[in-house]
Amino acid sequence: MRAVDYDTEQHQDYARGRALGERQLRVWIDAFDAALPGRRPLAGLDVGSGTGRFTPALAEAFGPVVGVEPSVRMREVAQAQSRHPGVRYVPGAAEEIPVPSDSTDYALLGWSWHHVRDKPGAVRELARVLRPGGRLLLRTNFSDHHPRPWWLEHFPGGYEADASIFQPLHEVIALFTSAGWRVVGFGTVTEPSTGTRAAVLERLRLRTLSFFSQLGPDALETGFRRLEEAVAADPDSPAPVFDEPLLTLQWKPSGP
């Protein structure tokens, strides 16, 4: 994929373009809850925390969280938007997480795995910081288990361009299991509709999805024109929902 530098693009509009309401956030937190051990508090990491869409809600639900984020600008937005006492944002990346070894009960890698350049290095680093039995919530797409958002079909070659950003599921699983991890869950999560079709189109115009960086100007222009026509025919109905994969892995499981 074409690399996205969040310090020069997206940071101004990300929080607005990718905003989640309370209902959407609740569905994600419930899905993470179901994938985590029941005891509280849990020491958490939000790796690639961005503008902190999830970080305060993770702290509220599970216990203290360190948001690890390489982009200075994305971190600035996160810090300005939330002062949750259980949240700390630090510079870092999946390949270099500035917390002690064996210090963490779970890590969320939410919508950030496709940006990680050194994936084997990240697998090692996540294993270093997680306690034995710790969980990794890998919320990412896979080229062969790819969501079909309702708006994507309007962009020429959109589905293929979006899917090509991601690895196939078996490749991700092999990367982790060959390094001592175990798969403990794979399913999908369906966010409630985030507004009308017209409201979602307004947010898409902000282009805060890596997908838009992969398309040339012609495909972008055609796609938005077609999408506008489709939305104009039915602007006020709720935007259709779609399923998003969640893979849960466990580091160094004890027992069978």
Q: Which of residues 46-65 bind ligand SAM (CB under 6 A)?
A: 47-50, 53-54
And the tokens for 34? 């179901």
Q: Is 103 exposed, middle or buried (0-12, 13-18, 19+ CB in 10 A)?
A: middle
Closer residue to ligand SAM (CB): 14 or 231: 14
Q: By CB under 6 A, which span of 26-34, 104-112, 162-170, 216-224 interacts with ligand SAM?
A: 104-112
Closer residue to ligand SAM (CB): 112 or 214: 112
And the tokens for 221? 């222009």
Q: By CB under 6 A, which span of 67-75, 177-185, 187-195, 229-237 interacts with ligand SAM?
A: 67-75
Q: Does 93 bind ligand SAM (CB under 6 A)?
A: yes
State CA 131 to chain mean position distance: 22
Residue from 13, 17, 18, 88 binding ligand SAM (CB under 6 A): 18
Q: Is 236 exposed, middle or buried (0-12, 13-18, 19+ CB in 10 A)?
A: exposed
Alpha-carbon distance values, 110 to 34, 140, 205, 256 (Å): 16, 7, 22, 28
Give me Rg for the CA atoms of the chain: 18
**Least CB distance to ligand SAM at residue 13 (A):** 12
Closer residue to ligand SAM (CB): 71 or 167: 71
Does the N-terminal peptide bond of residue 41 adopt cis geometry, omega within 30 degrees of 0?
yes
Query: Which residues contact ligand SAM by CB under 6 A?
Result: 6, 18, 47-50, 53-54, 69-71, 74, 93-95, 110-112, 115-116
